[in-house]
Chain A
Amino acid sequence: MMKKLPNILLYTILIAIAVFQIYPLVWLFMFSLKNNQEIFAKSPFSLPEDPQWENYVKVWTNGNIGTYFFNSVWITALSILLTVLLASMVTFAITRMKWKLSKLVLGLFMVGLMIPVHSSLIPLFSMFLKADLIDNPLSIVITYTAYNLPITIMILLGFYYSLPRELEEAALLDGCSVNRLFFKIILPMTTPVMSTTVIINMIFNWNEFVFVNTFISSDKYKTLTVGIQNFIGQYMTDWGAIGATLMISIIPILIAFIFFSDRIIEGITAGAVKG
């Protein structure tokens, strides 16, 4: 009895926190399926009486959500590809090749982890203005790549250090070139850690707001985060539509989380703890 009581208390605390973390999302899902009449007149905690799936159809067809969604997908995917490839090449060169400045170069990338984005935003804006890259998705892709390189390299680093040296020695004795060694032998071996970095990059890029908000002005190039921010403005009072829009923007991440939660957790801990 003495032992059971504190246990019940502990579970109550843990579950209360879980409810606090998840309930706002449950509430969001429920009002995304209600009409205004039900939202304003009935209890906010009730289940939707007659689920209004047409809220989702309405926001998907009545605006640019489809375009924003597509932009988010390809900008996220292209940036991930560039980031993980470039970061893998750098990490390979730093951990496996022999050169004097490798520590210094690694240090430079690691400094990139600490800087506040807002301190570089105005010069970045002016550079893109001069290069005619304002309102051009290319500016977003290269910015995402540059700003995610440091954290990606940091996550890759430990794995590369742990790869056995014998492997490449054998390959090089057989007359293997550096490119072959990297692309055919090392890179395939790093698949687990690469998938961790892919997922971390996906979360960062999919959710990024400031760069798109600052560098992109045309609707046809906006991503979901910025797109829904403007889109919601039009639906000021239609809560069901707002809820459906928000749900559409978070569903891909939630699905990714359901399937890859262990990798996501691994990536997040690896990214933070080694810092």
Chain B
Amino acid sequence: MNKVLSNKFMIALYVLPALILVAILIFIPLGLTGYYGLMEWSGIGAMKFIGLENYKEVIKDPKFWNSVLHSFLLALFSTLSLGVYLLISLILASKIKGSSLLRKIYLIPMLLSSVAIAQLWMKVYHPTNGMLNRFLSILDIDNPPAWLADPSIVLYAIFIPILWQYAGFYILIYYAALKNIPEELIEAANIDGATPWQIAMKIKIPLISGIIKVTVVLAIVGSLKYFDLIYVMTGGGPNGASEVMASYMYKEAFGSYHFGYGSAIGFFLLIITLVTTFFIRKLTASKDDVQY
């Protein structure tokens, strides 16, 4: 019987199609990014080897560092908003009527395509006819900003729909984790006279700390590689004010045909993402050790 299940040919038949696909379309391209970064290449025609020139240039490129800063700002805002989502989930999970319907409503934006969300919010932010400025004019607020055209506001204006898109996702995850906490623990604390706030801080949050760590990693990594809404809504503009790493890479490669330079940015994006993930894992793991 064991022979049937350890038949090498059958194992290869079941595993190799998927493995080959993933190797060719994910792992080989990832490796090649670093290599293409050594080239000068317009996308068509021959590549020219130029050594580390692209990488040196990226390091000296203020536009690149500007995009890195914006990506990390998004990561910071996404992480901070997790606290709000956690609070909402704590409320939702505390025997609220209609919590199932509310969770579903919260989740709807996440199901929509980024293009639809981007186009919708471009209309919300439209300077004269948008929902937001029409609402502000009802409140008698004069000269409301042109949200997506104002370099000092645009980045934060785009953060709102990004958070809008993912809020339901995190609330859902926290809610599921909170519902997994055994009822008896909460009841015991209730009998001991603990307040809801104490129960949340001392029992519920520590018990779901594993999930919280996962969401912190998801939020930060997701932010660092974020692209869609920014590309559609502003293309990184005006004048780089909303540029993030992925949009800068895309613009250099597929907009300006600097494929070598774009690859070098893509390689930095990969390294920055991996290193950040590694450090968050380290950081949250050490906190864990102190706690228990």
Contact = CB atoms under 8 A, between A and B. Distances in A.
Contacts of A21: 105-106, 108-109, 164, 167-168
Contacts of B267: 119
A109 B169 CA distance: 23
Interface residues of B, number: 92
Given A10-B96, A118-B266, A178 B18 contact: no
Contacts of A28: 120, 123
Contact of B7 (A125, A168, A178, A224): A178
Interface string B1-35: 11011111011001101110110111111101100
Contacts of A214: 254
A251 B215 CA distance: 29
Contacts of B135: 44-45
Interface stretch (B56-64, B151-159, B181-189, B269-277): B269-277
A121 B266 contact: yes
- Which of A112, A129, A177 neighbours the largest number of chain B CB atoms within 10 Å of its CB? A112
B218 interface: yes
Contacts of A89: 14-15, 17-18
B113 A224 contact: yes
B172 interface: yes
A273 B25 contact: no
Interface residues of A, number: 96
A15 B99 CA distance: 10
A174 to B, nearest CB: 10
Given A24-B120, A145-B21, A242-B119, A116 B15 contact: no
A269 B123 contact: no
Interface in A164-221: 168-169, 172-173, 177-179, 182, 203, 206-210, 214
Given A40-B129, A89-B15, A149 B21 contact: yes
Contacts of B201: none
Contacts of B28: 123, 127
B115 A228 contact: yes
A69 interface: no
Given A109-B22, A123-B33, A228 B119 contact: yes
A114 interface: yes
22 contacts: A13-B88, A14-B91, A21-B106, A27-B124, A45-B135, A90-B14, A97-B14, A99-B8, A105-B15, A105-B19, A108-B22, A116-B224, A118-B246, A119-B33, A119-B273, A122-B33, A126-B32, A209-B113, A214-B254, A225-B115, A228-B116, A273-B173
